[in-house]
Amino acid sequence: MSTWLTFKPEVNDPPVKKWISLDEKERKIIRNMVMFDGVDIEKYPGAMDHILSALDPGYKSPKEYVYRKIESTQNLRKYGNQLEGYKKVLDSQYDRVYLRFREKINDELYQSTKGTFNSITNHFKKTLLCKHKSCIKRTKGNDFSCSYAFAYVHWRKFAEGLKHCFHVENSYYRPKRTDINNNICSTSYSDYNEIERFLSKWNGSNQERKFKSVCSTKWVLNKLVEQLLLNNFYNWIRYAESFGMNQKWEEIYYPYNFKYENIPFFLIKVPDDEKSELQFHIWFNEKNMVEFKGIDLFCPYNSIKKRRRLQRYYSLSNG
């Protein structure tokens, strides 16, 4: 019994050894980090290593992960201060004034995410979908033969909160804008709950950071939305890939409960000094790194496209 009381276990695992030796200043930095709750951090492989490497640049994560760090501009948190206006309308007795103020800020955030969404869609169209533009038009017209177009159109449909496939890329059916009743403030409509939780953590305990620097909130929100949109698109690609070429596609009206098990681990590091840059840290492994070159989905129109390219080639050669 006396041996049990005096026994001191020896910790040999480097991450655990580092973790239990953190001082209060380092623990505070970790508490200030904003992490994604869509994945249980305790079940995420390498999470402790990732957090420690974000804390200490000298700490190295396992080699099987590809690590990237993106920093904001200096003094970003000094711009877009709407805190005084927020407190003013919060103290007023007019709900309509408060709702209008909140709608204005949320719409500003929503508009900023449209740029991120457009950049991603343009990138896909120039790479993976560059030979399937006509297939996208067919898919919006209820021809779901091309797996590439099927995945892309359904991804956009649910990301933008649209009802039907023919609404995609149709200016008449504009994506949903900010709704003051439920705070929708991004183009990733299907990830609304996770976005709200992430922004709530970013706001801090007093829920004021969002208004203290709207510019910083835009930066943080767009980093999150980018990863959610990419994850959703890759999920649709994997879904289409899993059925092969014999699947008879039909329009899907309810989004599948896609999990976030393939999303990379990422976090926002928020320094105490407001003059310092915000830091976005992200780690990729083989599961969440999708190489477009390795994607081979079924498209029944590939032979037609090849024949047209040959016809153009011969016409140009003979001309």
At 27 the pLDDT is 92
Distance CA 123, CA 111 (A): 19
Domain range annotation of the chain: 2-318
Would you state the pLDDT for residue 8?
64
Q: Could you read off the pLDDT of 200-225 as tens digits, one per residue?
A: 899 887 777 888 888 999 999 999 99
CA distance linking residue 203 with residue 210, whole number of Å? 5
User: In a 3-state reduction of DSSP, which class is residue 21?
Assistant: coil
Q: What is the pLDDT of residues 152-182, one digit of tens each?
A: 999 999 888 888 888 998 888 776 555 545 4
Tokens representing 84 are 């005084």
Per-residue pLDDT band for 304 (boundaries 50, 70, 90) equals: low
Task: Enter the DSSP assignment of 11.
Answer: P
Longest Cα–Cα distance of the chain, Å, equals: 97
| Residue 287 pLDDT exceeds 90 | no
Query: pLDDT grade, residue 269 (50/70/90)?
Result: very high
For residue 91, the model assigns a pLDDT of 74
- What backbone torsions phi and psi does residue 267 show, to the nearest 5 degrees? -155, 160
Q: What is the pLDDT of residue 180?
A: 47
pLDDT at 220: 94
Q: In Å, what is the CA distance from 18 to each residue of 4, 22, 27?
A: 25, 7, 12
Highest mean pLDDT among 183-187, 241-245, 299-303: 299-303
- 140/317: higher pLDDT: 140
Among the ranges 22-36, 70-84, 279-293, which has the highest mean pLDDT value? 22-36
For the ranges 9-13, 120-124, 136-140, 288-292, the maximum mean pLDDT occurs at: 120-124
What is residue 63's DSSP assignment?
T
Distance, CA of 33 to CA of 50 (rounded, Å)? 12
Question: Would you give the end-to-end CA distance of the chain in angstroms?
Answer: 96
Q: Which of 37-41, 175-179, 233-237 is predicted most confidently?
A: 233-237
| pLDDT in the model for residue 99 | 80
